[in-house]
Chains A and B, each alone.
Chain A
Amino acid sequence: MTISEHLPALVVVLPLMAAPACVMLRHPFAAWLVASGTSWLCLLMSALLLRQVADHGAFSYQLGNWAAPWGIEYRIDMASAFILVIVSAIAAVVSLYARASVAHEIEQSRQYLFHALFVVCLSGLLGIAITGDAFNLFVFLEISSLSTYAMVALGRDRRALTAAMRYLVLGTVGATFYVIGVGLAYMMTGTLNMADLAARLPAVIHTSTAQAGLAFLVIGIGLKMAAFPLHFWLPDAYAHAPSAASAFLAGTATKVAVYAFLRMVVGVFGATGILAVAAMADMLMVVAVLGMVVGSAVAIWQTDIRRALAYSSVAQIGYVLLGISLLTEAGLAAGIVHLFNHAVMKSALFLALGSVFLRLGSVRIADLAGIGRRMPLSMAAFLVAGLSMIGVPLTVGFVSKWYLVEAILHKGLWPVAVLVLLSSLLAVVYVWRVVEVMWFAKPSALALTAVEAPLSMLVPTWMLAGAAVWFGVDATGTMAVARAAAAVLMTGVGQ
């Protein structure tokens, strides 16, 4: 038994163990060191797992050596390994940034709590990605959610408390729906193992119990991933959470929820063929398109830029869902690659904004006038990531758009393709409006006081902004992984 065999367990357990360590250390810097070191280790382990899957194919890890379907199985295939890498990469980069940002935004006596919650959340998110057990997924969902609520509540003013409370109520409703859905499926099949569920569901899918289970799952996970029209909790949460938390959550939390959707709805229930038969896929498409348009439109008029970015996330989740709703491998691949691409660019935007908040204490659009001249490097990163949101060629946003449009046209859905591209024009407005104020307006009195962000925040911001260009120029790697992941998830649906 070597350590490498236990990587699947370690990648979840290590951050979970790091949390009490943070709490016991209490010292902000020590706690940060533990959290950041853990995040980077998780990234290393995730990358190793991805390589293992790429080299030798999917494999399982039996927790405690209890064989599936009775024991809990961790299942690592292309889809889960990709999500592991996305989540741990964002966590690693944000953790670098978190030290200075958290030191500024949270009072010293509570900073260690942030770092502890950060690793707990990371553990939960990685767990969701790696588990092959429907109920175990619920457990990790709760681990990540509870830590997230607390992280949001650590926000800078008291509105963070209301936002966290709302998020808690809605998140709990979502989690409850999810567990009801799993319960109903368990009732009909007697198993919680995903592979086992996928094998047994086709026989019982005609029952209204199983169908109701699916409905609960869809809405439950829909709440978690803030799909339109279940997104109302998201803008407040992102706007009032500490900057580092916003960046981390924007890049990971909704993505992992989408992964849960892919796994449970497409992977498990998709095998029954019900998605194609029932109006499910069509409804999903309508909701996705509405989300795309409404999210972008609302973002245009927001005065708090973090809220604008949160609404833009709602729109971006729409793109992903649209890809999924096509129920083709190409569509799924386009959705999955967008998970990565969106995580990179949206986190970069939030990190750049966090730097502004550090210097100005505000991210209202009026206060940002002329900030580009005072903080050129941070705001250049914002510009790069913003261009990527619009989908300018040679950025990741363009890669996503290209593959999504290709997949849509492959199904002959012309009007939808045009809608996708038109909604990207809305992105031009909400991004450009900010860029214009930042770079072209006369500096406000507040902006004149600002200086460039510290290196420990600039470097992570540019790591992500750079990645938005790097993977935009050469998308071969990300797209190959996304295709393989889509193939894994489609195995059931294709039949």
Chain B
Amino acid sequence: MTIEGLPPGLLMIAGALLLPFVGAAARRVMVLALPLAVLALVWMLPEGSGPALSFLGQSIAPLRVDALGRLFATIFLLMAAAGALFALGQSRLLEGVAAFVYAGSAVGVVLAGDLITVFVFWELMAVGSTLVLWAAGTPSAARAAMRYVQVHLLGGVVLMVGIVAHVAATGQTAFEAMRPETLGTWLILAGFLINAGAPPFSAWLPDAYPEASWSGMVFLSAFTTKTAVYALIRGFPGAEILIAIGLFMVFYGIIYALLENDMRRILAYSIVNQVGFMVTGVGIGTEMALNGAAAHAFAHILYKALLLMSAGSVLLMTGRRLCSDLGGLFRTMPVTTACGIIGALAISSFPWTSGFVAKSMIGQSAADGGLALTWFLLTAASAGVFLHAGIKFPWFVFFQKDSGLRPADPPWSMRLAMILLSALCVGIGVFPGLLYGLLPHPVDYQPYTAAHVVEMLQLLGFSGLAFFLLLPMMKRTRTVTLDADWLWRRPGAAAATRLWTGLAAVFAELTATAAAAVRSVADHARALHGPRGILARSMSSGGMAAFALVALGLALVALYR
């Protein structure tokens, strides 16, 4: 097989596994060159499917190149390179290797032409990301990784049953658009959604990611959820249920992010929120909505990585992660502050940033499709995004009070990575054609109309005003009703926010009950299976023989008619 026939993701993984065997200097070059070389390869590959292979008695196409797959592969590989640059000073070799395996698997998924290949890379992705998390080396990271891998392998189980059933029912392994109609396709959808951070499994994301190292979370934020978004765009465009799920995620993310004090956990909730926009877009399902979801995924990877890099820099330089312990860092960390603000503006869809040109397509497609409520909620949520990620994060970390901390900006490689991503965020915002040209469907959309820009600036202006007027209450983040106050002028959003506030309380109650139930099941299981449990005890020979006799009796009864 020539190099053209090999999935680029596999090359990336193979390269990752070589990393431990090269010298430190060569490794620094390799981590930057490898993703870019693979990226070049992706763009040299002709569109269409590579050679078909046989695996598990099924015909599979491990390589399929089209605009959608190439878009995601491009951003994944760019992100791997940017992340590697940021993590150049990270001394933990395992994290780098795992991150590249992880990125390579994500590329493998988006360039796979059949469900079986998708599944194989899907599982490798789970392994890679778990190791990235683990590499942080703290006990809490180890525990979080265990919970994380369980959720993902559970998702893998659901996905696998779905795929087996789908393949058995249709005889087709090709990964094409499906409808959630049979049990098989429902399970596939559920498997995808678990990775996307959809309810009721949203909590794995903010639970796990903030435990990663300062560089690990940058990688983690990019691949898993966005691969799931890709899978949804490819597999379930226009599945109406996704609108509801997406909107739930949007508000779940906002509410919990507003309540949160840990800067990286705020950003983790914000991932759920942003992926919610994309999932909603997939649910709307028109060409523009799908374009919007894909473009938003592309833009989001860049600005979320940028935000996490600035948060990671702060964590590395100060060792602190709680908003209440930070503040006033702009004095000594000007580059980090500036880059963090650009990321914050981008995530808030400020005009002339990447977020503006990407996310507005989803809202526009909701309006075009006559989905009034969806449009309302998305617009209201945009204000919410500005509140929790656009202002809250930079304000509390870099400004607010003077915490007395005087850390310097991080080393050059980290600064360079942040500056490059900032440039990309702004560049795409100013020249949206760059991104639109990569999208799977032809784009007939003009983001910079006067009405649109003014509307967005108004929205941001008022929510910014609200933030500072209510600043004392924002600090005591337990007073959730405050959301309802300032959103009062938007009845739909207000009602929804109240509803979600109530639900959040119920949800917290339910999680506590569920946790108690799980604990009691675990205690019970331990009593039964634990080292001194009935099922684990060493029995006397007589006891065992008696057991055999009982079994024989049962077998006789079963046969006797």
Contacts and interface: CB of A to CB of B under 8 A. Distances in A.
Interface of A: 165-166, 169-170, 173-174, 177, 208, 211-212, 214-216, 218-219, 222-223, 229-230, 232-233, 235-236, 274, 278-280, 283, 294, 297-298, 300-303, 311, 387, 390, 392-394, 399, 401-403, 405-406, 409-410, 414, 417-418, 421-422, 424-425, 428-429, 432, 436, 440, 475-476, 479
Contact of B529 (A223, A301, A414): A301
Contacts of B548: 170, 173-174, 177, 219, 223, 230
B42 to A, nearest CB: 22
9 contacts: A165-B541, A212-B556, A215-B559, A223-B548, A274-B559, A278-B561, A414-B161, A440-B142, A476-B57
Contacts of A311: 536
Given A215-B558, A278-B561, 16 more contacts: A173-B548, A223-B548, A229-B551, A232-B544, A278-B559, A294-B529, A297-B528, A298-B529, A393-B119, A393-B120, A399-B56, A401-B160, A403-B56, A406-B168, A417-B164, A425-B154
B165 interface: yes
A425 B137 contact: no
Contacts of A406: 164, 168
Contacts of A425: 150, 153-154, 157
B156 to A, nearest CB: 8
B161 A405 contact: yes
Main secondary structure of the interface of B (DSSP, over half): helix
Contacts of B134: 436, 440
Q: Residue among A211, A303, A410, A475 with the most chain B CB within 10 A?
A: A211
Interface in B526-546: 526, 528-531, 533, 535-536, 538-539, 541, 543-545
Q: Report the contact-size class of chain B (Cβ under 8 Å from the partner).
A: 35 or more
A428 to B, nearest CB: 6
Contacts of A422: 154, 157
B22 interface: no
Contact of B555 (A283, A403, A428, A432): A283
Contacts of A278: 558-559, 561
Q: Residue among B124, B183, B525, B558 with the most chain A CB within 10 A?
A: B558
Nearest to B157: A421
B127 interface: yes
A214 B558 CA distance: 11
A418 B164 CA distance: 12
A418 B157 contact: yes
B560 interface: yes
B547 A232 contact: yes
B164 A409 contact: yes
A76 to B, nearest CB: 26
Nearest to A287: B551
A243 B157 CA distance: 34
B67 interface: no
A302 B56 contact: no
B480 interface: no
A421 B161 contact: yes
Contacts of B119: 393
B123 interface: yes
B127 A166 contact: no
Interface string B443-474: 00000000000000000000000000000000
A298 B544 contact: no
B559 A211 contact: yes
B54 interface: yes
Contacts of A212: 556, 559
A391 B146 CA distance: 17
B52 interface: no
Contacts of B539: 232
Contacts of B561: 278
A297 B529 contact: yes
Interface in B308-365: none
Contacts of A211: 556, 559-560
Contacts of A235: 538
